[in-house]
């Protein structure tokens, strides 16, 4: 299994992905906080994907997938099922490409998310709020329209797009990073980041941070095979998904370790980012900092990159 992805995700393919999506994404800033560095005892470089279009790194992968399509594929549009950041990202990327997007969303999705997807001009198809209904509905939509299904993470062009956040971070940080920490849910961002490090910053160790209440990636690495997440329970709603068969082998080969953190550690880290860095981040984005704060001795004096994956939160329902 491990051997197949290389052809799809060479250094050249990652560089081409970056060139391809640059006109459509923000080169987000890398920010540091001296007060936070003092607290952590290490030098932290935060790649601010919460400031990305649609408020999350998902815009990178969606853009690369959309702008990689062949002419005849573009004519029929793209489709996905998601109520999260990928839905908005795909809708916006499709609009920028001037093609159709079909988004399957559970009928109980938050109104604000439905409005956002609609605002980007996508066609929404509602379904019952079960995974089975989502997949069935998506299948119908694809059969009916001929649209290309763009999976939120188990898709090579998506992984290549997500890799560009780490590629930029390596360029933007003023130092050689000892460590890069990314959160892991389905593994699109993590596998992309791991390949980016391998190709463009080989001295950087890539580590993942995962909520203890949705630790399928940790379980899978331990077992040496994919173990899907059953009944995830974590405030980090972006990380409740399971690894896919495309992301897992990359992670297995290139990620050194997965650190699990509790929800209270996540909320504490989120508060630090809001208070010290003045950045609105969603719980999932705080997971890497939670991993640092959990065992500070270990990171003392290190140069550490962290990806702030997104900033989409409901201000009416904050955990503090």
Residues that bind its own copies (CB under 8 A): 29, 31, 34, 50-51, 53, 55, 271, 274-275, 277-281, 311, 315-316, 318, 320
Residue 221 vs 307, nearer CB to its own copies: 307
Read off the DSSP letter of residue 18.
Answer: H
Residue 51 vs 255, nearer CB to its own copies: 51
Shortest spacing between CB 146 and its own copies, in angstroms: 30
Shortest spacing between CB 11 and its own copies, in angstroms: 29
83 is catalytic: yes
Residue 51 vs 259, nearer CB to its own copies: 51
Q: Which residues is 31 bridged to in the sheet?
A: 46
Residue 149 vs 274, nearer CB to its own copies: 274
Rg of the chain over CA atoms, in angstroms?
Answer: 18
Give the number of other Cβ atoms within 10 Å of residue 268's Cβ. Answer: 18
Angle at 302 between CA 298 and CA 304, to 5 degrees: 105
| Virtual torsion, Cα 61, 195, 249, 102, nearest 10 deg | 0
Shortest spacing between CB 91 and its own copies, in angstroms: 13
Catalytic residue among 13, 58, 100, 246: 58
Find the helix or strand (DSSP H, E) in which 259 lies.
strand 257-261
Shortest spacing between CB 234 and its own copies, in angstroms: 21
Shortest spacing between CB 55 and its own copies, in angstroms: 6
Angle at 82 between CA 123 and CA 149, to 5 degrees: 70
Q: Are 235 and 267 in contact (CB under 8 A)?
A: yes
Task: Work out whether the CA dihedral 185, 186, 187, 192 comes out positive or negative.
Answer: negative
Q: Are 191 and 160 in contact (CB under 8 A)?
A: no
How would DSSP label each residue in 212-276? GGG-HHHHHHHHTS-----S---S-GGG-S---TTHHHHHHHH--EEEEE-HHHHHHHHHHHHHH
Residue 45 vs 199, nearer CB to its own copies: 45
Residue 110 vs 146, nearer CB to its own copies: 110
Shortest spacing between CB 242 and its own copies, in angstroms: 27
If DSSP codes are grouped into helix, strand and coil, which group holds residue 207?
Answer: strand
Q: Are 279 and 47 in contact (CB under 8 A)?
A: no
Pairing state between β 257-261 and 205-211: parallel
Catalytic residue among 43, 63, 68, 83: 83
What are the phi and psi torsion angles at 216 (to 5°)? -65, -30
58 is catalytic: yes
Q: What does the alpha-carbon distance between residue 191 and residue 248 come to, in Å, rounded to a whole number? A: 8
Residue 68 vs 88, nearer CB to its own copies: 88
Shortest spacing between CB 282 and its own copies, in angstroms: 9
Q: Would you name the residues annotated as active-site residues?
A: 58, 83
């Amino acid at each position: 299994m491990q051997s197949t992805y290389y052809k799809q995700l060479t250094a050249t393919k990652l560089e081409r992905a970056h060139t391809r999506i640059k006109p459509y994404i923000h080169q987000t800033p890398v920010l540091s906080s001296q007060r936070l560095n003092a607290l952590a005892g290490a030098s932290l470089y935060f790649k601010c994907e919460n400031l990305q279009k649609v408020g999350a790194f998902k815009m990178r992968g969606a853009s690369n997938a959309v702008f990689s399509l062949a002419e005849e594929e573009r004519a029929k549009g793209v489709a996905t099922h998601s109520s999260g950041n990928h839905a908005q990202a795909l809708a916006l990327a499709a609009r920028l490409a001037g093609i159709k997007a079909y988004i399957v969303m559970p009928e109980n999705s938050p109104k604000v998310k439905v409005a956002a997807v609609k605002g980007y001009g996508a066609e929404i198809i509602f379904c019952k709020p079960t995974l089975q209904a989502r997949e069935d509905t998506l299948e119908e939509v694809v059969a009916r329209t001929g649209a290309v299904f763009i999976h939120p993470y188990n898709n090579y062009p998506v992984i290549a797009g997500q890799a560009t956040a780490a590629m930029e971070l390596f360029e933007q940080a003023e130092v050689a990073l000892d460590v890069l920490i990314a959160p892991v849910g389905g593994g699109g961002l993590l596998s992309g980041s791991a390949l980016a490090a391998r190709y463009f910053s080989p001295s950087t160790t890539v580590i993942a941070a995962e909520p203890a209440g949705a630790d399928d990636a940790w379980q899978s690495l331990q077992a040496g095979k994919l173990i899907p997440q059953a009944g995830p329970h974590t405030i980090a709603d972006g990380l409740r998904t399971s690894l896919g068969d495309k992301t897992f082998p990359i992670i297995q080969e290139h990620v050194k370790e997965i650190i699990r953190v509790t929800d209270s550690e996540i909320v504490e880290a989120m508060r630090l980012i809001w208070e010290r860095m003045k950045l609105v981040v969603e719980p999932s984005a705080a997971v890497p900092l939670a991993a640092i704060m959990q065992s500070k001795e270990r990171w003392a004096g290190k140069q550490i990159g962290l990806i702030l994956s997104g900033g989409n939160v409901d201000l009416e329902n904050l955990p503090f």
